[in-house]
Amino acid sequence: MSTAVTEIGAFEAKTKLSSLLAQVEKGRSFYITKHGRRVAEVKPVTPRKPKRRFGSGKGTVLYMAPDFDAPLDGFKDYM
Per DSSP, the residues of 22-54 read HHHHTT--EEEEETTEEEEEE-PPPPPPPPP-T
Which domains are delineated in the chain?
1-45 (3.40.1620.10)
Q: Residue 22: its pLDDT value, please?
A: 96
- The set of residues, in sequence order, having a beta carbon less than 8 Å from that of 51 and lying 6+ positions away, is none
C-alpha distances in Å from residue 5, one per residue of 29, 31, 71: 5, 7, 58
pLDDT average, residue stretch 68-76:
83
Per residue in 12-49, pLDDT tens? Answer: 999 999 999 999 999 999 999 999 999 999 999 988 88
Q: Residue 42, Cβ neighbours under 10 Å: how many?
A: 18
Taking the complete model, does pTM exceed 0.95, yes or no? no
The predicted structure's pLDDT at residue 61: 79
Look at residues 7, 17, 12, 15 and name the one whose alpha carbon lies nearest to residue 40. 7
* Residue 3 pLDDT: 64
